[in-house]
Structure 1
Amino acid sequence: MKMIKKNIALATGLLLMGSTASFAQSLADAKKAIDAEQFQKATSMLKTLVANQPKEGDNYFNLGKVYLLTEDIDSARAAFTNGTTAAPKNALNFVGLGQADLIENNATNAKTNFDKALQLGAKNYQTYLAIGRAYLDQETPDYTSALPNLQKADELDSKDKDPETFLALADFYAQQRKNTEAYPMYLRALDINPNLYRANVQIGKMYKDAFAFPEAEAEIQKVVAADPNYGPAYRELAEAQMQWSFADPKNGPAKKAEALANMKKYLDLTDKSFDSRLRYAQFLVYAGDFATLESEVATLNAPDPKNPKTFVVARMRGYSAVENKKFDQGLKYMNELFARTQDTARIIGSDYLYLGKAQQNLGQDSLAFINISKAVKLDSTKVDELAAIGAKYYAAKNFAKSAQVYEKVAGANSKDPNIAMNYYYLGASHYFAYAYDVRDNKNPTKDALVKADTAFSK
């Protein structure tokens, strides 16, 4: 479930102010909404700005960036292109087009657009900062290309007036787990603007990624105390507490409850757009709260039915139904998921697993075996689910079938902690399959006994 790793960093790149006081205030309000991850609200505000001030290029740039944050590349391109027409001397919309090119793996076009931007704004640190961010804010960041642009932005902003420069440099290091270099950069950003809560949240994230959960919680709680309405703090706090719950079984239930409560606060503080609700739903999967998930995804619909994220919603509907033992409904949802031929490349091991689990619980054991085998082939850590099918056949004394299943189980994951027991059941299945064939006068060869001995010797 991709989400949104880049959203945090991308939001920090919306940094450019307008020229008049009223324009700056309006754009500042829109950017504040973006930073708070209220993307629907920000989109509405920026569309109004574009309509009222059609010659201001920064309006188009920030609108396009919001679309990038919500992974609507086509709308982002349209906004940036309109910006280059409405304000041809504004460098930033060419940067935006270049960032869209990078997202679509077209580095050549991206460089062309970045070069156009530099022709217009080579003396402006914001141009280099935006280009650096564009390279950084990718699913696979291009750190080599990002750094010189961020350093040039720092050089041109010689009086260190803009904390966003240091925030970008800090993120550059933090994303590479270079915490020693990142931390002082976050502090420099906070020295310039103590109310730059994004920096505190990112420091907390840095602690979380280093598994320093108490420190992460303490850092993020500073933001909650300073501004109880800053939604991203609750999101990051929830994610830190959820990881903490997994790492500390003694306090796990309490931390998990705190995490779920804080993620709900995050949702309540956003505009409850499709994207923020989707993030909340994905967190419920991570938390294993399938009862709440089922209720949430039941009414989670994208404004555009063609939105590719509807695939993720369909997946979560299937998973939650199966986990809540509504197997008929789960099978229906999973079959609908696999029927989306346009999304075939997005199918993962867990999809086959949940399809197989639904089938298994509806007595469709042969189909369950096929699909759970596919799940294990894609992700060998799911081998225990396949072993459960073998155990079911073994208990039913269908030893030929259990041998077939355990053969796959034993060969799937040599590091499985249950590997010895799986070999035992493989050997026993072959042995009893032979014995029953002898009993039934089927004149079996001794191949099954050889296979049994081989399995027992493992």
Structure 2
Amino acid sequence: MKMTKKAITLSLGLVVMGSASFAQSLADAKKAIDAEQYQKATTMLKALVKSQASKGENYFSLGDVYLRRDYLDSARAAFTQGITADPKNALNYVGLGQADLISNNAASAKTNFDKAIEVASRKDFTPYLYIGKAYLSTDKPDFAAALPNLQKAEELDANDKEPETFVALGDYYALQKKNSEALQNYMRALSINSALYRSTVQIGRMYKESRAFTDAEAELKPVVAADPNYGPAYRELAELYMQWANQEPQNFDAKAADALTNYKKYLDLTDKSYDSRLRYAQFLFYARDFKGLEQETSELATINPNDPKNLVVLRLRGYSAYENKNYPQSLQYMKDFFAKVKDTSRIQAADYLYLGRAQLQAQDSSALKNVIKSVEMDSTNVEALADIAKSYFEAKDYPKAISTYEIVNRINPAGKGSLYNYYYYGTASYFYYGKAYNAKLNPSKDILVKADSAFAKLAQLSPSTIDAYLWRARINYFKDSDTDPQGLAVPFYQQYADSASVYPAEKQTAAIKKNMVEAYNSIAGFAFSKNDKVKAKLFWDKALAIDPNSANALEGIKSLTAAPARAAGKK
């Protein structure tokens, strides 16, 4: 069968290495596979295929390594050669069946699996074991097909000689989050072979996925203590510490550093393959080491430029360039990424987020649309949308600030940053209405109603934020009638003044004192408009006690002896 160019290149690279430096033992090769030292295992198995050409299991193990490395054509070739060399060995039929499953050809897989059982001894449990494992190995495991085969393997292995059967059963249950059943089977495997580190690592992974981080660490650390060269344990420790870091923000830096340290050890002990380095690059992103990510992805981009997985590299280059403030380069990478993605289901929320952020830096009008897409896919990106809303506010583009904050507040009604979001939404609405009012454009008071609701929500979430009462007063002043005001602002001005007056003297800043003068003058002014001179004088005196030079208060006191006041229009 024709091999892929990728597989041919690999083969040529390995031939020159020879095999003298590796023990010619299938057991050693399997140990290398378990330790995820796939290049080493491939070289050993190539040598075994030459020296023991009639032994079918050598071909099967070689094909298995190719499958693990996504070299499907090479795997099929190895299995086919194995069948020719040893037609009675069932495992190569299983290998072909697994390749069929990867190719989404379930019917052909079933044919090959049936052939494996046909040629095997009736008491041989291994075909059933590997058929069960094959059904679990795909992106969408076929649990219904896997279980009967694993159970048959356990039944035929009456003396429980093969711990791998119980590891596979453990995987079967763990993949379905049935942790109790999974743990029982992993422990049975360890009771047969206590040095079966993969079983312990799987237990640690299971605890990690249940967020029992301390228990996971307690399982994994003894593995690396017992065998410092067992790479998969370091990988799982890295995954554990990265997840732990995200769950404990206060310890993020230390845990993220532990994650990177362990993943580097994993890389040093394994093949430093393209796939493992790609995963390391993702770790660098999660650990926020953007300088390191930029360097790693720059190297990865040259290794397999035509590999479909290089899209992930391109994505990460866009992310790291943005975080390193290289905005034009980030925008170019993200544009290239979107141009090359054929399967839109592979586009993530973060892709739209970084594209939108880079476009925002370039003042591209598409920025808002893409950030909104990212938020619709993942609401945790709402902070980025709030940043855009704030940029509109600072540019005094109040209509865009209002419409953007409306989306933000709908998605994030009480989460991180929500207090600021309500504040800026309310003030943007106030300024927008005031500008339109002064221009005599007759703006809708619905704008004020929504602004008032925003500050009411702010006061509800944070009663100590007394500025919410001040802004409610200002908004309700505009909501009031121009010709016959009802004093809608007065209760809120009073609430602000009462709240501020109980502050200790050292906390009564110049801004707070200025706002208290505004509140007292406004309360006095409304009282005077209703001919309540006693109340008016009381509050003007309070304003003058804070600011003896308050022009409004001085003028108000003077007006107490003048003719009766009329209701004033808006200013």
SS of 1:176 mapped into structure 2: coil
Note if 1:296 corresponds to 2:323.
Answer: no
Question: Who is 2:436 aligned against?
Answer: 437
Comparing 330-339 with 389-398, greater Cα deviation is found at: 330-339
Matches within 5 A, 1:102-117: 102-117=101-116
Question: Who is 2:348 aligned against?
Answer: 348
Gaps of 5+ in 1: 1-22
Post-superposition shift, 1:219? Answer: 1.9
Question: Who is 2:305 aligned against?
Answer: 305
| Deviations 1:190-229 (CA, angstroms, capped at 9, x unpaired) | 2322221112211222222232222222221211111111
Question: Who is 1:184 aligned against?
Answer: 184
Q: Which amino acid aligns with 1:334?
A: M
| Deviations 1:12-57 (CA, angstroms, capped at 9, x unpaired) | xxxxxxxxxxx99532222222111122222333334445544433
Comparing 304-313 with 430-439, greater Cα deviation is found at: 430-439
Q: Which amino acid aligns with 1:285?
A: F
What is the rounded CA distance, in whole Å, between the counterparts of 1:255 and 1:344 in structure 2?
34
> Could you say if the C-alpha distance between residues 157 and 428 of structure 1 is closer, same or farther in structure 2, counting changes exceeding 3 Å?
same
| Deviations 1:72-113 (CA, angstroms, capped at 9, x unpaired) | 334433433443444433322222222233334333332222
What is the rounded CA distance, in whole Å, between the counterparts of 1:205 and 1:142 in structure 2?
21
Larger-Rg structure:
2
What is the rounded CA distance, in whole Å, between the counterparts of 2:78 and 2:428 in structure 1?
64
Question: Who is 1:377 aligned against?
Answer: 376
Q: Which amino acid aligns with 2:165?
A: T
Post-superposition shift, 1:390? Answer: 0.5
| Deviations 1:227-274 (CA, angstroms, capped at 9, x unpaired) | 111111111122222333333455543333222211111111112121
Gaps of 5+ in 2: 1-21, 458-571
C-alpha contact 2:328 2:362 (8 A) present in aligned 1: no
Comparing 133-142 with 420-429, greater Cα deviation is found at: 420-429
C-alpha contact 1:173 1:179 (8 A) present in aligned 2: yes
SS of 1:339 mapped into structure 2: helix
> Could you say if the C-alpha distance between residues 442 and 48 of structure 1 is closer, same or farther in structure 2, counting changes exceeding 3 Å?
farther
> Could you say if the C-alpha distance between residues 72 and 311 of structure 1 is closer, same or farther in structure 2, counting changes exceeding 3 Å?
farther
Question: Who is 1:69 aligned against?
Answer: 68
Q: Which amino acid aligns with 1:297?
A: T
Question: Who is 1:96 aligned against?
Answer: 95
Question: Who is 2:258 aligned against?
Answer: 258
What is the rounded CA distance, in whole Å, between the counterparts of 1:190 and 1:169 in structure 2?
13
Comparing 113-122 with 427-436, greater Cα deviation is found at: 427-436
Comparing 135-144 with 221-230, greater Cα deviation is found at: 135-144
Matches within 5 A, 1:33-44: 33-44=32-43
Question: Who is 1:409 aligned against?
Answer: 408
Post-superposition shift, 1:404? Answer: 2.6
C-alpha contact 2:23 2:44 (8 A) present in aligned 1: no
Q: Which amino acid aligns with 2:89?
A: N
TM-score using structure 2 length: 0.70
> Could you say if the C-alpha distance between residues 179 and 441 of structure 1 is closer, same or farther in structure 2, counting changes exceeding 3 Å?
same
SS of 2:292 mapped into structure 1: helix
Post-superposition shift, 1:413? Answer: 5.2
C-alpha contact 1:84 1:94 (8 A) present in aligned 2: yes
C-alpha contact 1:274 1:301 (8 A) present in aligned 2: no
Post-superposition shift, 1:414? Answer: 5.5
Question: Who is 2:197 aligned against?
Answer: 197
Post-superposition shift, 1:165? Answer: 1.2
Comparing 193-202 with 45-54, greater Cα deviation is found at: 45-54
Q: Which amino acid aligns with 1:315?
A: R
> Could you say if the C-alpha distance between residues 271 and 24 of structure 1 is closer, same or farther in structure 2, counting changes exceeding 3 Å?
closer
Question: Who is 2:329 aligned against?
Answer: 329
The total of aligned residue pairs comes to 435
Structure possessing the higher relative contact order (Cα contacts under 8 Å, 6 or more residues apart) = 1
| Deviations 1:154-201 (CA, angstroms, capped at 9, x unpaired) | 111122221111211222223333333233322332232222111221
> Could you say if the C-alpha distance between residues 319 and 122 of structure 1 is closer, same or farther in structure 2, counting changes exceeding 3 Å?
farther
Comparing 246-255 with 229-238, greater Cα deviation is found at: 246-255
Q: How much is the aligned-residue C-alpha RMSD, in angstroms? A: 2.8
Q: Which amino acid aligns with 2:306?
A: K
Question: Who is 2:140 aligned against?
Answer: 140
Comparing 363-372 with 99-108, greater Cα deviation is found at: 99-108
| Deviations 1:108-132 (CA, angstroms, capped at 9, x unpaired) | 3322222222222262211000011
Comparing 131-140 with 261-270, greater Cα deviation is found at: 131-140
> Could you say if the C-alpha distance between residues 76 and 456 of structure 1 is closer, same or farther in structure 2, counting changes exceeding 3 Å?
farther
> Could you say if the C-alpha distance between residues 282 and 43 of structure 1 is closer, same or farther in structure 2, counting changes exceeding 3 Å?
farther
C-alpha contact 2:189 2:199 (8 A) present in aligned 1: yes
C-alpha contact 2:24 2:47 (8 A) present in aligned 1: no
Q: Which amino acid aligns with 2:229?
A: N
C-alpha contact 1:274 1:302 (8 A) present in aligned 2: no
C-alpha contact 2:67 2:99 (8 A) present in aligned 1: yes
SS of 2:25 mapped into structure 1: helix
What is the rounded CA distance, in whole Å, between the counterparts of 2:243 and 2:378 in structure 1?
22
Q: Which amino acid aligns with 2:389?
A: G
What is the rounded CA distance, in whole Å, between the counterparts of 2:403 and 2:249 in structure 1?
37
Matches within 5 A, 1:238-277: 238-249=238-249, 251-277=251-277
Q: Which amino acid aligns with 1:179?
A: N
> Could you say if the C-alpha distance between residues 445 and 177 of structure 1 is closer, same or farther in structure 2, counting changes exceeding 3 Å?
closer
Question: Who is 2:131 aligned against?
Answer: 131
TM-score using structure 1 length: 0.86
Post-superposition shift, 1:283? Answer: 1.9
